[in-house]
Amino acid sequence: MPFIDDILKYKSLSIIGMAKNTGKTECLNYIIRRLKDYRKKLAITSIGIDGESIDQVTNTHKPEIEIPENTIFVTSEKHYKEKKIIAEILDVSERTTSLGRLITARSKNSGKLIFSGPSSTQWLKEIIDKMPYYGAEITLVDGALSRKSLASPSITDSMILTTGAALSANIPTLVKQTKFTYTLINLDKFDSILNDKLIKIDKGLWAIDKENNLYDLQIRSTLLLEKFKDKLLMYGNTIFVSGILTDKILDILRVQKNIKETIIVVKDFTKIFVSPEAYNSYISKGGKIVVLLKTKLIAVCVNPVSPEGYILDSDKLIEALSENIKLPVYNIKSDQY
């Protein structure tokens, strides 16, 4: 597949899904097999939990993640003990997740594994940075699009997005939703000396003035925005939202008289949970949204089959997506691959 050549240009890659059952694990397994053909030394980890044979939410069958011999992997103690492969332990983290410490190991044979990785973006970055020390040439991250995920797939150099019938059985609706996510992934990066400091902040709303001074607005929740909306722009027109971005913030800011000078900074696109309508209204008025972490989206993979039995026309779906997002779109289960 052509996009394998693109993957080889990067040190790390995340695979994220628009929804469950859009083919994320199938895509990951395909990439693992193909990179093995290139004799690339791989490292693999995950955001959240993945690799289980039965989806814990939909109770449907999931393809398990099969890793080749001599692959570096990072997973929790719980899932390391449940692995179906022989492996040697290389490192045990001092920090813990809800499923125990993280185990870094090297597989001694091929087999299946459940992945559960780091619980923060900074921790994920540290893991990715350390993988070349163990000989890995490319680190693959099984990503997530979720309010519950504290670690971001945008920390990787590159990304692949999966979408499909599980998201919507209607092609125009599916394309519209996927295109909106594509737009968010491609938001401009915030260029400031404050970036390293901002990425570590995990609470509240903050203001940044023209001299790059940072002010805590003492607004701990978006639920309090209406009460404190007059404080939002008291130090300038650049607002950093450390948590998730919602319609409420956009609705308040888009009616301000300085909207064309207003910039909202978020950590990355996965923290943006706004409707296309609110987003387009805010942008059309002149407001801007930028991100601290930006990755290169190199392709979209589709799964035309949903767990409910809907089967979309793969060729029509690929054509419609290609016209709207200007990226390579593939169905990796197609005979041609």
Share above pLDDT 70 across residues of the chain, in percent, rounded to a whole number:
91
> What is the predicted pLDDT for the residue at 53?
44
Split at pLDDT 50, 70, 90, the class of 332 is confident
* Residue predicted with more confidence, 189 or 335: 189
Please tell me the predicted confidence (pLDDT) of residue 2: 66
Q: Give tens-digit pLDDT for 198-257.
A: 999 988 999 999 999 999 998 877 666 777 777 888 898 999 999 899 999 999 999 888
* Tokens, residue 123: 């921790």
Is the pLDDT assigned to residue 149 strictly greater than 50?
yes
Q: What is the pLDDT of residue 175?
A: 97
The pLDDT score that the predictor gives to residue 1 is 54
Mean pLDDT value of segment 283-296? 96
pTM here is: 0.90
> Which of 77, 49, 76, 81 shows the shortest CA–CA distance to 65?
49
Q: Which residues of 44-78 are buried (b: 16+ CB within 10 A; e: fewer)?
A: bbbbbbbbbeeeeeeeeebebbbbbeebbbbbbbb
Q: Which of 31-35, 139-143, 226-230, 329-333 has the lowest mean pLDDT?
A: 226-230
CA distance 230 to 216: 14
pLDDT at 155: 94
The torsion angles phi and psi of 75, rounded to 5 degrees, stand at -150, 175
Residue 18 to residue 190: CA distance in whole angstroms: 25
When pLDDT is cut at 50, 70 and 90, the band that residue 307 belongs to is: confident
Residue 72 token pair: 């570096």
In this predicted structure, what is the pLDDT of residue 148? Answer: 58
Burial (CB count <10 Å: 0-12, 13-18, 19+), residue 208: buried
Q: What is the pLDDT of residues 82-91, one digit of tens each?
A: 998 999 999 9
CA distance readout (Å), 240 to 69, 145, 207, 292, 304: 44, 20, 6, 10, 38
Q: Which CATH number fits domain 2-186+294-330: 2.60.120, 2.40.30, 3.40.50, 1.20.120?
A: 3.40.50
- Yes or no: say if 74 and 83 are a contact pair by the CB < 8 Å rule: no
Average pLDDT, the chain: 89
Strands 158-164 and 12-17: parallel
Q: Give me the residue spans of the domains in the chain.
A: 2-186+294-330, 195-291
Encode pLDDT of 1-55 as tens digits: 567 889 999 999 999 999 888 989 899 999 999 998 888 999 999 986 654 444 5
What pLDDT does 62 receive? 54
Q: Residue 57 pLDDT more than 50?
A: no
How much is the pLDDT for 251? 92
Q: Which structure tokens are listed for 260?
A: 């064309």
* pLDDT tens profile 168-203: 999 999 999 999 999 999 999 999 999 999 999 988
